[in-house]
Structure 1
Amino acid sequence: MKKMHNYYETNIRAMEVDVFVLDFSYDVEERSPEIYIWGISREGERVVILEKEFRPYFYALLETDTDPETLATEIKGLSKPQSPITDVKLLEKKYYGEPVKTLRIQTIIPAYVRIYRDQVAKLKGIREVLEADIRFYMRYSIDSGVKPFHWLKAEVEEDELGGLRVKKCYKLKKILKIYEANPPIMRTMAFDIEVYNKYGFPDPKRDPIIVIGVWTAEGPRQFINLRGDDIEVIRDFVKFVVDYDPDIILGYNSNGFDWQYLTERASSRNLKVDVGRKVGSEPSQGTYGHFSIMGRLNVDLLGFAEGVEEVKVKSLDNIADYLGVVPKASRVNLEWYQIPEYWADPKKRDTVLKYNLDDARSTYLLKDVFLPFGEQLTIISGLPLDQLPMASVGYRVEWLLMREAYKFNELIPNRLERPHESYKGGLVIEPKPGIHENVVVLDFTSMYPSIMVKYNIGPDTLVRGECRDCWTAPEVGYKFRKSPDGFYRRILKVLLEERKAIKEKLKDVTDEYERRRLEERQKALKVMANAFYGYMGWLNARWYSKEGAEAVTAWGRETIRKAIEMASGMGFEIIYGDTDSIFVKGDLSKVGRLVEEITSRLDLEIKVDKKYKRIFFTENKKRYAGLTEENKIDIVGFEAIRGDWCELAKEAQRMVIETTLLKGVDEAVKKAKEIIMRIRRREFNLQELVIWKSLEKSLEEYEVDAPHVIAAKKAMSSGYVIMKGGKIGYVVVKGVGKVSDRVEPYFMVKDKNRIDVDYYVDKQIVPAVLRILEPFGIKESNLKGGGMDILSYFRDR
């Protein structure tokens, strides 16, 4: 009777659940690994599913003449009692598309994979040891197909919570389905800390946290150090996080500063930043430099902001202002060096508190700009959202490839150190300098990934030697088999076809949420597909192929040349060409026919990307500016010419570009003269003159005293620490000698009268402006007082 009762209870506990997967982690309990699948149930409850049966493993690739049974016995002899080798299995796999024999070696504790890897690699008959460097919980995600931001339908049994801060804990019995559907509402909080660091760069062992600002859907919260001791501040913040229970914690440079400072400061005060969904778990730094918080997604938005190329100094206030999230004019703006001064003055302290909340608010609101795109990249790549912003594009592509490799029974290559190799890039046609009217830009749709698909390019399809049924790349002569489909072609086909289908679907979508989701999805698909070529030529890539990368650019150059021949044959004038696009002018009624002919003959889709009413080129490649039919001004290449330009120089260049396009060159010259006169009258903000430069090395490694190195040394001598990889901002002041002798850290100059206005006119504004106007015959003397007959210049041309 008792046996029947237990059987009944066991079955009554078995159930099906649908859980939206947020993240993975693992722990070793009683010498056995457990994988935590953190998520949100259909009912909106925070839950965790425990996978207790999955075990770590790696592969040993065998030499062709090796006896598998003998080698398997030898490998089992390496077994250690702390984590025994529990299975050695012979499997047929593929390696770069070729059939191979491998031994799959399984153990218990994930950390022992690397120990056994090194020992197995030394055995005779082992060609290579593979897949020993894949993190355990990601190994599970690859094998099971359970991916972040997907729904998991599973058969589970309810388990004890055991110190887990979730509503329910389940033990996984069986995966029933993995699918995409609308996500649940996720609780999100943003935070920002301020530190009292009157001695320069903050030291967590010395300098207290003065305020932690938080922003959520319910509004702001602040934890303020009013007693000179930050123990209470840290405790209250930790309690808030646990009580609010966010799924996503947002920061801005939180991986680079806030979390590290907070955890080290807490440790110095004998406190724990116990904010994870497992009691006792603190934020810990892991892959790609991100801080992992158990059960929550810690997302540093600076990683996404790095992709905003238009903003050079990617401070939170600059990014939020540029993206229109929080304009600088509507928030408190403080420099980091002002915080100690303001905090020490009771009358100014409120300014610091407002500044802190404005930072938290800006971070929170930036989620609407960055997270929709980030979520789609996570869905495609399978890389958790907290790791995604910190991972390079190459790593994002690689995680997708690793997941697909498992499906195709392909072994994942090791990451190797390789010497630098260069190869010829895309074709760039010299621009025709001057102003042109009615120019059309024809752009090949996803040219490089399309070429990779068309010619089946990849490391596993490369044929060395004779080949009867191969594509042969022009110029370089590399051969790629026509069939069967290679690893890259199979994956790229899916990405490109899905993007095409989404773009068609978008034509009929009226729901605003669904439209935004689909737009971000097609954008993410485009970014991932376009990154495949770059990944193939990336020296850190597991699936590296210099030959493949060279072949892609060779076919790309041939494609552009043929497109130009067809355009010229129809009477179009080629103004410029760059990699995957050509700029043409002529009879615009023939553009449609030209597009059809190029698409048909080259079997690659080309489309009209833009139409310019007016566009001008200098003599330099990749630099132009145009006025579109929608009266939008496009500026390409100019603002990135030099990294040591101040904001006023860049603004002067932008204004001259706009004036040239809208009103002509003579008006642009007048505009440049006005800006120069404004500087001479000292009608500027000091911030506009700051020149920012990165320190690529530590200060002692620099052999030349460049201006930014001198400025950094001066900052350090005043108590401020400028570290390798950081940026230093400086201004040039009046005096004698070289520029290096006359630089000062920007925060040490308060008086405009100290500024060397001649330097900024001669070395900043005039060079920036002349890059636009020089092709039209404008000289420095014309900007600084001389004149010229613009009309006669154009007659002479």
Structure 2
Amino acid sequence: REEREALEKSSKAEFIPYVKMWSSLLTQPLPKIKRASLDIEVASPDEYHIPSPEEAEHQVIAVSIYGSDGRKKVFLLKRGDHSLGDSKIDEAEVLFFEKEESLLEAVFLEMLDYPFIITYNGDEFDLNYLYHRAKNLGFTEDVIPINLGRDQAWIKHGVHIDLYKFFANHALKVYVFESKYVENTLNSVCEAIINESKIEFEGSISDLPILELGRYCFNDARITYMLTSYNDDVVMRLLVVIARVAKMPFEDLGRLGVSNWIRSLMYFEHRRINALIPTSEEVSARGTIYSTAITKGKKYRGAYVLEPEAGVHFNVAVLDFASLYPSIIKVYNLSYETILCGHSECRSNIIPETPHWVCKKRYGITSLIIGSLRDLRVKLYKPLAKKYPPGSDQAVLFNTISQVLKVILNASYGVFGTEAFPLYCPPVAESTAAVGRYLILKTVDECRRRNIKVVYGDTDSLFISGAGKGEAEKMIEWAEEDLGIELDLDKVYKYVAFSKRKKNYLGVLPNGNFVLKGFTGKKSNTPKVIKDAFYNVVGILSKVNSQSDFEAAREEVKKYLKGITDDLRKKKIPLADLSFNVMISKDLSEYVDTTPQHVKAAKQLERTGRKVKGGDIISFVKTTTPDGVKPTSLAKPEEIDANKYIEYMKSTFEQLLDALGYEFDEVIASTKLEDFFWA
């Protein structure tokens, strides 16, 4: 209460009602939500084929439900040609069924006990398949607790949350989960977030002994549930707070992007204050753009980026403008109805680096909403989260609120600056970017005036090298006094290795953890051998503590990569580690104009008699055969095109090696006579 009252006293009169409104709403207790996760397994005759939910031609052979009330059940279909096996599922009650219809009836009844059903890709598969399979078996609509929309599945008695779409949300992935995972699969997300994984097996799911199948299915339901329960139900708490801020129902939150959250919030506020919601045409006609875009495809000049000083820099501090663009929107009163207002006395209130002026007589709706949320996060909830003991109810609540506001605020500039957004106003977007450039350049100039070395700058952050804590604190004081903007000491790296490219660097923290920006080794379609090599190299570099350590690590990296390329030339790498795994997005007959590599591999599989459908995952390797690729299952080690993989390694590592001071070609240069015989 004291902190909130202090914030109210420091706020301008126009913002106080918003601070009171938001703080009253957001500090309400977060409910414990009764829920259950659900996972199904289907008898598919082909281990490479994902059964079609719409056709639902194969039996549902296992379903697991993992409830927040302690109930855990596995529903298994007895099949005469399959043994039970000797696996145990100690944690759950196991129920056997002679008929598939009886199994589905029991599952549907169990679902009715939970107001929230949690799945991982349930929109596309689990609930979708259950609905169509039940219809195929003669179930009537009134006994199926599922409804289907165009691209989502609903449950009639409550709420269905598809975690696949939640964790695939880019804003949440970056600002809440800190890009800990690259792929959005259940296994990748669980390994990164809760240190759990799916159970591995060989062959087809249909061939597993019945109890082993049940153990596999139950584990999927268990780890899906754990994604909502870890860290004191943090994901469920996030959903509650997002719903409160965005004024949206739960089911929409996980499926729609942050731009829809902000649109819903803005429209709600218009209705609350009895203001007409303008059409997108009315808003976009407020003014024109004067700057010239540097980035292709953009309408106006964007953020300022200071070219990185390539190489390695030790003791690098990152100065971060606290919610820079939301701060600009608030401080400069940027909103579609305040920019280029009709008051002659406001025409002198010019936005830096633009011909646009902004109203001095009243605050705009965007400035009030975004500005008040920004102040609440920076001045109230973020400090409160640190005030209370970690793990306490207060700390969890305030940290959750702070995270949600961070997501919405950090996305707000991008949303308001996107033409597709209904409240997109060109001069507001241009002005926001212009002020951002102005503030960053002023700060760079001040650093240089104080003899502080700036090695990189991007959008709302400056990387300074060799500055002590005292110098950083003085810069923070200067920014608040001279610019009216808050500057934070975001983090301090042991060292940062920059490539010559923008937005590409490796930063190593004092605890050995590392931050990677922009490197292709993180891409999800990278073969395992190259992905593993990339992270092993980063692991070597993360142990560096001094310049001498760094020189030794450079040589170790060079030697390690040379070993990988030698193994590629000598065909020593297992085919599975060389595989690319790509989904066929449509039936093969529909690929007419172009034939991508995974389609070439799929057509080879068809010629062997295997049926390939849209949705199948095709595993293939690059070969010296006429097609240039072969399905992994048909390829031989001697057919592998080592040069293609070495080229892929080069594209993956050249940015990182650039920062280390040498080129990939130096790594693969043959130094021994026998190497020439393997090239």
Structure 1 position 760, deviation (Å): 5.8
Alignment-mate amino acid for residue 742 of structure 1: G
Residue 269 of structure 1 is matched in structure 2 by 137
Aligned match for 1:509, one of 388, 392, 408? 388
Alignment-mate amino acid for residue 364 of structure 1: Y
Does residue 456 of structure 1 match 2:333? yes
Q: Distance in 1 between matches of 2:592 and 2:583?
A: 13
Structure 1 position 786, deviation (Å): 4.3
Alignment-mate amino acid for residue 764 of structure 1: Y
Alignment-mate amino acid for residue 593 of structure 1: K
Change beyond 3 A, Cα 1:722–1:594: same
Does residue 484 of structure 1 match 2:354? no
Residue 191 of structure 2 is matched in structure 1 by 321
Residue 720 of structure 1 is matched in structure 2 by 612
Structure 1 position 610, deviation (Å): 1.3
TM-score, length of structure 2 as denominator length: 0.79
Does residue 216 of structure 1 match 2:67? yes
Residue 165 of structure 1 is matched in structure 2 by none
Equivalent pair of 1:445/1:605 in contact (CA under 8 Å): yes
Output aligned runs, 1:253-652, within 5 Å: 253-272=121-140, 282-286=145-149, 289-306=151-168, 307=170, 308=173, 309-326=179-196, 328=197, 331-334=198-201, 338-340=204-206, 342-343=207-208, 348-369=209-230, 370-414=235-279, 422-463=299-340, 467-470=344-347, 471-499=349-377, 500-510=379-389, 512-588=392-468, 589-639=470-520, 644-652=525-533
SS at match of 2:480: helix
Choose between structure 1 and 2: higher helix proportion.
2
Residue 657 of structure 2 is matched in structure 1 by 773
Structure 1 position 281, deviation (Å): 7.2
Structure 1 position 687, deviation (Å): 4.5
Q: Distance in 2 between matches of 1:441 and 1:186?
A: 39
Structure 1 position 546, deviation (Å): 2.3
Higher radius of gyration, 1 or 2: 1
Q: Distance in 1 between matches of 2:414 and 2:279?
A: 18
Structure 1 position 409, deviation (Å): 1.2
Equivalent pair of 1:570/1:594 in contact (CA under 8 Å): no
Q: Distance in 1 between matches of 2:65 and 2:141?
A: 16
Structure 1 position 333, deviation (Å): 1.8
SS at match of 1:522: helix
1:59-98 CA distances to partner (integer Å, 9 max, x unpaired)? Answer: xxxxxxxxxxxxxxxxxxxxxxxxxxxxxxxxxxxxxxxx
Alignment-mate amino acid for residue 264 of structure 2: W
Structure 1 position 517, deviation (Å): 2.1
Change beyond 3 A, Cα 1:350–1:784: farther
1:157-200 CA distances to partner (integer Å, 9 max, x unpaired)? Answer: xxxxxxxxxxxxxxxxxxxx989633443221111111122264
1:411-459 CA distances to partner (integer Å, 9 max, x unpaired)? Answer: 2345679998632221111101111111111110000011011111121
Aligned match for 2:598, one of 708, 714, 721? 708
Aligned match for 2:51, one of 166, 190, 202? 202
Structure 1 position 537, deviation (Å): 2.2
Structure 1 position 268, deviation (Å): 1.6
Equivalent pair of 1:247/1:295 in contact (CA under 8 Å): yes
Q: Distance in 2 between matches of 1:201 and 1:654?
A: 31
Equivalent pair of 1:192/1:258 in contact (CA under 8 Å): yes
Structure 1 position 579, deviation (Å): 0.3
Q: Distance in 2 between matches of 1:649 and 1:366?
A: 29
Does residue 736 of structure 1 match 2:606? no
Residue 89 of structure 2 is matched in structure 1 by none
Aligned length in residues: 590
Structure 1 position 201, deviation (Å): 4.1
Q: Distance in 1 between matches of 2:316 and 2:664?
A: 30
Range 487-496 or range 648-657, more displaced: 648-657
Residue 674 of structure 1 is matched in structure 2 by 563
Structure 1 position 674, deviation (Å): 3.2
Change beyond 3 A, Cα 1:712–1:666: same
Equivalent pair of 1:656/1:669 in contact (CA under 8 Å): no
Question: Which blocks of at least 5 consecutive residues in structure 1 are unaligned?
Answer: 1-145, 151-176, 275-279, 789-797
Choose between structure 1 and 2: higher strand proportion.
1
Q: Distance in 1 between matches of 2:439 and 2:44?
A: 59
TM-score, length of structure 1 as denominator length: 0.68
Change beyond 3 A, Cα 1:593–1:716: farther
Q: Distance in 1 between matches of 2:210 and 2:166?
A: 32
Give percent identity, aligned residues only: 24
Change beyond 3 A, Cα 1:442–1:365: same
Q: Distance in 1 between matches of 2:558 and 2:572?
A: 19
Residue 234 of structure 1 is matched in structure 2 by 104
SS at match of 1:202: coil
SS at match of 1:443: strand
SS at match of 1:479: coil
Alignment-mate amino acid for residue 139 of structure 2: L
Alignment-mate amino acid for residue 238 of structure 1: F
Alignment-mate amino acid for residue 517 of structure 2: V
Q: Distance in 2 between matches of 1:627 and 1:679?
A: 30
Q: Distance in 2 between matches of 1:465 and 1:754?
A: 75
Q: Distance in 2 between matches of 1:413 and 1:715?
A: 55
SS at match of 2:335: coil
Residue 763 of structure 1 is matched in structure 2 by 647
Q: Distance in 2 between matches of 1:501 and 1:761?
A: 52
Residue 189 of structure 1 is matched in structure 2 by 36
1:749-785 CA distances to partner (integer Å, 9 max, x unpaired)? Answer: 5x77366161464123333223211354433443225
SS at match of 1:462: coil
Change beyond 3 A, Cα 1:501–1:714: farther
Q: Distance in 2 between matches of 1:555 and 1:720?
A: 54
Change beyond 3 A, Cα 1:422–1:760: same
SS at match of 2:497: strand
Change beyond 3 A, Cα 1:453–1:506: same
Q: Distance in 1 between matches of 2:399 and 2:570?
A: 48
SS at match of 1:620: coil
Q: Distance in 1 between matches of 2:369 and 2:310?
A: 41
Alignment-mate amino acid for residue 673 of structure 1: K
Change beyond 3 A, Cα 1:645–1:627: same
Equivalent pair of 2:623/2:629 in contact (CA under 8 Å): no
Q: Distance in 2 between matches of 1:429 and 1:698?
A: 47
SS at match of 1:238: helix
1:462-484 CA distances to partner (integer Å, 9 max, x unpaired)? Answer: 21678431542333422221331
Alignment-mate amino acid for residue 690 of structure 1: S
Change beyond 3 A, Cα 1:252–1:398: same
Q: Distance in 1 between matches of 2:519 and 2:59?
A: 44
